[in-house]
Amino acid sequence: MPVLDLSTDVVTLTRQLVDIESVSRDEQAIADAVESALAALPHLTVTRRGHTLVARTELGRGSRVVIAGHLDTVPVNDNLPSRLDSSTGLLHGLGTCDMKGGDAVILKLAATLTAPVHDVTYVLYEAEEVESELNGLRLLSESDPDLLEADFAILMEPSNAVVEAGCQGTLRVEVRTTGERAHSARSWKGVNAIHAAGDVLDRLRSYVAREPEIDGLRYHEGLNAVFISGGVAGNVIPDECVVTVNYRFAPDRSEAEALAYVRDFFDGYDVTVTDTAPGAMPGLDRPAAKAFVEAVGGPDGTVNPKFGWTDVARFTVLGVPAVNYGPGDPSLAHTKEEHVPVEQIERCERQLRAWLEAPGAGA
């Protein structure tokens, strides 16, 4: 079994995590390694559900914060093992950015903060990069909601080590065109469902993204085909074509409103929902969010909107104010060239440590 050394520095620990391959649905090895490392820490109470680990301090503080990250990655794309370029200070490899840099910060804090000013619940979970039915945080919120009770939550998704508030929702639908089969040598006797999908693609090409401003943050929606498939045989006019469309919507729209928009957009077609998750409003008016932003936000207090859907939305649904804050450029997530500046990993560790050690810092 791979072993994690929590006594090493946070960058080396990131590399150890990256070098344990953990593509979604294949997280046994990394979860075992994390569980084993956490079990050696006497100041934490560890619970495992599937390949999701929860480690909690039980200090009787008047406040509790959750710090969470997912252990899985998108598929390998010729970008393992990790590679540290000391001339640029960049750590390259699958998961360096999304999001094992953040996971390493979580593990490092878990190992070393024996007396934080807030009780802390560290969560390292499975299956964030796939269908939400499998999402470890979702499963945990249903099986053990008490384990996630908190006054504030920090999700360490990549955000360039800047606080990102809110997140966009996501909706996936299948848009289906139908036709009538015929031999392709007598194509005029059939109706080509793939040709009919041309209109679906034309509508997508004419889409203009909404960019609403919410709590001072400018969001940016998107409506895209992510899959298309159709065809029966090389000599048959196809009678069905399915376009899978992903709508990313700003958090001022509910899931129901997002679906209504998409149904209207594809008016006249058969639209089937396959996956949906709500956005999260920035919530920057809440005291807990304000306090954290003041502590780590720097002199200018920079806060950005989160375009990508993250599990921040799950905390919002549970009534826990939550923000994204982690090392790495989110636009590098899911790219072959994924990397993270080691300085950001170190800065996140330093700022979170200072906040959790500062006497009187209210959650």
Task: List interacting residues with a second copy (CB under 8 A).
Answer: 74-75, 129, 131, 168, 170, 172, 181-189, 192, 194-195, 197-198, 201-202, 204-205, 209, 220, 222, 224-238, 241, 243-244, 246, 248, 275, 307-309, 330-331, 333-335
Task: State the sign of the Cα–Cα–Cα–Cα dihedral 335, 97, 70, 311.
Answer: negative
What SS3 class is residue 53? Answer: strand
Assess whether 27 carries a catalytic annotation.
Answer: no
Alpha-carbon distances of 282 from 3, 163, 269, 307, rounded to whole Å: 38, 11, 34, 11
Select 116 or 328, whichever has its Cβ closest to a second copy.
328
Catalytically annotated residue among 35, 103, 119, 128: 128
Catalytically annotated residue among 72, 119, 164, 311: 72
Q: What is the dihedral of CA 355, 356, 360, 362, to 10 degrees?
A: 80
C-alpha–C-alpha distance, residues 304 and 265, integer Å: 29
* Least distance to a second copy, CB of residue 105, Å: 22
Select 16 or 135, whichever has its Cβ closest to a second copy.
135
Which residue in 240, 63, 71, 80 sits closest to 152, CA to CA?
Answer: 63
Select 108 or 339, whichever has its Cβ closest to a second copy.
339
* Least distance to a second copy, CB of residue 280, Å: 13
The H or E element that residue 197 is part of is helix 193-205
Select 16 or 132, whichever has its Cβ closest to a second copy.
132
Assess whether 240 carries a catalytic annotation.
Answer: no
Alpha-carbon distances of 201 from 229, 249, 261, 305, rounded to whole Å: 13, 19, 17, 29
For residue 87, the tally of other CB atoms under 10 A from its CB is 5
Select 283 or 308, whichever has its Cβ closest to a second copy.
308
For residue 337, the tally of other CB atoms under 10 A from its CB is 10
Task: State the sign of the Cα–Cα–Cα–Cα dihedral 160, 76, 137, 228.
Answer: positive
* Least distance to a second copy, CB of residue 45, Å: 34
* Least distance to a second copy, CB of residue 231, Å: 3
* Least distance to a second copy, CB of residue 319, Å: 24
For residue 124, the tally of other CB atoms under 10 A from its CB is 28
Active site members: 72, 128
